Amino acid sequence: MWGAGETPEGEVGNIWGSVTSCGTEGNLLGILYGREYLREVPTIPTLVSSVESHYSVSKAGRMYGMPYVRVRSNDVSGEIEYDELERTARRIVHEQNGGVCVVVNVGSTVRGAHDRLDLVIQALDAANVPPERRYLHCDAALSGLILPVLPEAEDYHFGFDRGADSIAVSGHKQLGTPIPCGVVCTRREHMLRWAAGTPSEADYVNTQDSTLAGSRSGFAALVLWYVLSSKGIEGIQKDARYCISSAEYLKQQLLEHAPSCEATRTPHSTTVVFKRPSTAMEKKFQLATTGDIAHVVCTPSVGREVLDLFVKEYSDDIVS
């Protein structure tokens, strides 16, 4: 699904992966690999993303001592503004003699928006950013197992065959694993560069530690394997279409029963954004809120009866 490719023997070629404890750990590791790749750049590499990115990106910047620049997002689609990205990258690389580690949103936290990897690369090309001064990490925590199985979402497809250096996804979101977990994948060269720093006295682990946390959950790996092998590509695609259908249904029902809510949904997103309701509603439905908006993410476990109940209570709440 992520364009990793295979060797003639049917084995994965130059891509390495690890089970993580969550999407944040995947972002922290992917960005760390980016910093290590860009170490040869004369100045400290700059972390760049849209304002829609998860706060773990900012956390990574603070942890790794990387300057962090947030680029505006489109008011309608929620995508990063590619023209501003181009200007930002040109300034960092050519005026500041730096490099850029760019985080691409594949389902942003609040609006479920998707940046287009191909347009991000076009922006970097237009800014004359050479390969040795760029690193691309895809934060696919939310939509990493949705977009790749939707042919109609071709414009938003991403992968290693399309220029990504690392990709992170959560297991407890779309897959619905009972414990927080995820997977991060990267080009093998990036993993080896970091693993090479494992001190020789750590020979008791019988390997070079290529991860961030060290120990990992074998149960998480088992759960991920079980869900993926049970569903298969067809099951994952079925879930993706169901969730998108549910999100569109919710948006239309909200607009019909509570027009003032201004419900929106970005392209191919399972997230519906609307005006923030009362605190009682927030607590009852455990809504994620920020500023004057709230959202609902439609997952495979969310049925129409739950959506209908929410619409009824939300519309009554807004009116009152």
Distances (CA, A) of 31 to 6, 103, 217, 302: 25, 8, 22, 33
Asked whether residue 57 carries a pLDDT value surpassing 80, the answer given is yes
**Residue 210: per-residue pLDDT:** 81
**Residue 208: per-residue pLDDT:** 74
DSSP E strand boundaries for 51-206 = 68-71, 100-105, 134-139, 166-170, 182-187
Residue 6 confidence class, pLDDT cut points 50, 70, 90: low
The pLDDT tens digits of the residues spanning 285-318 come to 999 999 999 999 999 999 999 999 999 999 999 8
184 within 8 A of 145, measured Cβ to Cβ: no
Asked whether residue 7 carries a pLDDT value surpassing 60, the answer given is no
Report angle CA 25, 29, 30 to the nearest 5 degrees. 115
Task: Round the average pLDDT of the chain to a whole number and report it.
Answer: 94
**Whole-prediction pTM:** 0.94
Asked whether residue 36 carries a pLDDT value surpassing 80, the answer given is yes
Question: Within 13 A of 253's CA, how many CA atoms are on the CB side?
Answer: 19
Tokens of 217: 């959950």
Distance CA 117, CA 121 (A): 6
The pLDDT tens digits of the residues spanning 224-261 come to 999 999 999 999 999 999 999 999 999 999 999 999 99
DSSP 240: H
Distances (CA, A) of 112 to 10, 88, 274: 34, 24, 13
Residue 201 confidence class, pLDDT cut points 50, 70, 90: confident
**Residue 11: per-residue pLDDT:** 54
Asked whether residue 43 carries a pLDDT value surpassing 60, the answer given is yes
| 53 assigned to active site | no
**Residue 69: per-residue pLDDT:** 98
**Residue 93: per-residue pLDDT:** 97
Q: Pairing relation of β-strands 100-105 and 46-50?
A: parallel
Distances (CA, A) of 69 to 125, 230, 249: 19, 41, 36
Report angle CA 238, 244, 247 to the nearest 5 degrees. 140
**Residue 120: per-residue pLDDT:** 98
DSSP SS3 for 96: coil
Given 49, 210, 269, 315, which residue is catalytic?
269
The pLDDT tens digits of the residues spanning 149-158 come to 999 999 999 9
Identify the structural domains of the chain with CATH numbers, from first to last.
Answer: 15-224 (3.40.640.10), 239-319 (3.90.1150.10)
Q: Pairing relation of β-strands 293-297 and 134-139?
A: unpaired
**Residue 5: per-residue pLDDT:** 76
